């Protein structure tokens, strides 16, 4: 992406560089001023709603329980209000932003932190920031890596928030904690339990490896520009051990997706589209599930058991 045209006199430039250089949380007036001075028109499709409420930013940071040894992945730093706070608490930050205009602005705003080296003498050390200009979802898929020592702390772009969480959450190399701000409706799905209206595919794909540890609502008025819906910050903590062995995971995903493909239908009937009836009936009997049950009433533990049984060729017929 090309950088946006710059405008203005010397005064304007001085004032811009002051705002760009500050690493404290930004006020709404500063955000507006900076965007105007840089000539940046926000792109709605990139979910560019920036969080300017210092109390909400502090709550997000508290939920992350950061220490100076922590490595943090931030997706979509935007103008950097969260990045600034992360830099005060964490040891290392990798921030991935898709908008080239914002990357340029962030490089200038956080120049000292981008230059910081983690091998500097202890007294001189400050949190190091690595800024990547990339599509975060494409990056995560293209460069799979071990995120076990990392925490995700991000106000996510809403259009890809669920896909990013599912991509990061899968399996043995997932981050230790994910503190994510996203639409309230998605937060409810992430926090849901069996029997809840919001319980579904997203709940199960994430909760297989993560336990919900709390959430709070963030009103639309805390963002600039105000989004059409309220948001929430969720905190998810990686389970201490795997609930399901790697070889059964594909079956788990397939069972869950098929089971919720028509919420109001009986799950056994739906699964019969993919697996032999006898094997499924045995698996349901072994798991103590009624043959008329619907997916929305089936717990995570039961889905795990079903995936193991179906993956192994069905339950015992006892
Ligand atoms: N963290 C900032 C804040 O709290 O104010 C900005 C959050 S804003 C909701 C989402 C940010 O994600 C925007 O800066 C947008 O440009 C960026 N973004 C959108 N899609 C992205 C993607 N696929 N990869 C990386 N960044 C993306």
Q: What is the pLDDT of residues 115-166, one digit of tens each?
A: 765 555 554 556 799 999 999 999 999 998 999 999 999 999 999 999 999 9
Q: Which pLDDT score, from 0 to 100, does residue 55 have? A: 95
CA distance 67 to 213: 19
Mean pLDDT, range 260-284, rounded to an integer: 96
Q: Is the CB of 136 under 6 A from ligand 1?
A: yes
Cβ–ligand 1 contact at 53 (below 6 Å): no
Report the pLDDT value the prediction gives residue 96, as an integer from 0 to 100. 98
Using the structure block, give the residue that is written with the tokens 């190399």.
173
Query: What average pLDDT does the structure give for the chain?
Result: 88
pLDDT at res. 314: 57
The domains of the chain, with CATH numbers, are 10-238 (3.40.50.150), 246-313 (1.10.8.100)
Confidence at residue 121, expressed as pLDDT on a 0 to 100 scale: 56
pTM: 0.89
Work out the burial of residue 121: count CB atoms within 10 Å of its CB; fewer than 13 is exposed, 13-18 middle, 19 or more buried.
Answer: exposed
Confidence of residue 27 (pLDDT cuts 50, 70, 90): confident
Rounded mean pLDDT, 257-274: 97
- DSSP class of 130: E
Q: Is residue 60 within 6 Å of ligand 1 at its C-beta?
A: no
In 3D space, the residue among 292, 267, 272, 277 whose CA is nearest the CA of residue 200 turns out to be 267
User: Is the pLDDT at 105 greater than 90, yes or no?
Assistant: yes
Measured CA to CA, the distance from residue 77 to residue 282 in angstroms comes to 50
What is the number of the ligand 1 atom nearest to the C-alpha of 83?
Answer: 1
Residue nearest to atom 22 of ligand 1 (CA): 135
**Residue 241 CB partners (closer than 8 Å, separation 6+):** none
User: Per the omega criterion (within 30 degrees of 0), is the bond before 87 cis?
Assistant: no
Which of 297, 296, 267 has the alpha carbon at shortest distance from 284?
267
Q: How far apart are CA 72 and CA 128, in angstroms?
A: 10
Is the distance from the beta carbon of residue 157 to the nearest atom of ligand 1 less than 6 Å? yes
Q: Hey, what are 149's tokens?
A: 């020592």
Copy the structure tokens of residue 143. Answer: 């460069």
* Statement: residue 82 has pLDDT above 60: yes
Please report, in angstroms and rounded to a whole number, the separation of the first and last CA atoms in the chain. 63
Residue 50: band (very low, low, confident or very high) from pLDDT cuts 50, 70, 90: very high
CA of 156 to the centre of ligand 1 (A): 6
Identify the band that residue 5 occupies on the pLDDT scale cut at 50, 70 and 90.
very low
Question: How many Cα atoms are found within 13 Å in the side-chain-facing hemisphere of 248?
Answer: 20
User: What is the dihedral angle through the alpha carbons of 181, 185, 187, 188, rounded to the nearest 10 degrees?
Assistant: 160
pLDDT at residue 26 tops 80: no
pLDDT at 22 over 60: no
For the stretch 3-10, contacts whose Cβ atoms lie closer than 8 Å and that sit 24 or more positions apart, written own/partner, are: 3/100, 3/101, 3/104, 4/38, 4/39, 4/40, 4/41, 4/101, 5/39, 6/38, 6/39, 7/37, 7/39, 8/37
* pLDDT reading at 318 higher than 60: no
29-44 pLDDT, tens digit each: 989 998 998 899 999 8
Residue 70's Cβ-count burial label (10 Å; 0-12, 13-18, 19+) is buried
Residue 13 has pLDDT above 60, yes or no: no
């Amino acid at each position: 992406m090309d950088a946006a045209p710059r405008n203005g006199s010397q005064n304007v430039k001085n004032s811009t560089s002051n705002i760009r250089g500050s690493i404290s949380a930004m006020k709404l007036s500063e955000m507006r001023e900076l965007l105007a001075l840089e000539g940046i028109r926000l792109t709605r499709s990139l979910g560019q709603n920036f969080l300017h409420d210092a109390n909400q930013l502090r709550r997000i940071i508290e939920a992350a329980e950061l220490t100076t040894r922590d490595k943090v992945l931030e997706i979509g730093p935007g103008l950097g209000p969260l990045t600034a706070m992360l830099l005060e608490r964490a040891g290392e930050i990798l921030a991935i932003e898709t908008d080239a205009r914002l990357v340029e602005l962030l490089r200038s705003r956080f120049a000292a932190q981008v230059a910081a080296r983690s091998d500097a003498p202890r007294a001189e050390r400050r949190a190091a920031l690595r800024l990547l200009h990339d599509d975060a979802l494409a990056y995560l898929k293209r460069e799979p890596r071990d995120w076990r020592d990392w925490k995700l702390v991000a106000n996510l772009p809403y259009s890809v928030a669920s896909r990013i969480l599912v991509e990061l959450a899968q399996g043995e190399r997932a981050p230790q904690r994910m503190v994510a701000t996203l639409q309230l409706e998605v937060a409810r799905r992430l926090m849901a339990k069996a029997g809840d209206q919001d319980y579904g595919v997203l709940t199960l794909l994430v909760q297989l490896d993560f336990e919900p540890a709390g959430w709070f609502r963030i009103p639309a008025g805390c963002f600039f520009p105000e989004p059409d819906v309220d948001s929430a910050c969720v905190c998810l903590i990686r389970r201490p051990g795997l609930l399901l062995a790697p070889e059964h995971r594909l079956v788990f995903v397939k069972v869950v997706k098929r089971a919720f493909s028509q919420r109001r239908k009986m799950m056994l009937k739906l699964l019969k589209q993919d697996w032999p009836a006898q094997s499924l009936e045995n698996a349901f009997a072994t798991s103590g599930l009624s043959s008329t049950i619907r997916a929305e009433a089936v717990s995570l533990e039961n889905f795990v058991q079903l995936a193991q049984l179906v993956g192994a060729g069905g339950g015992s017929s006892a």
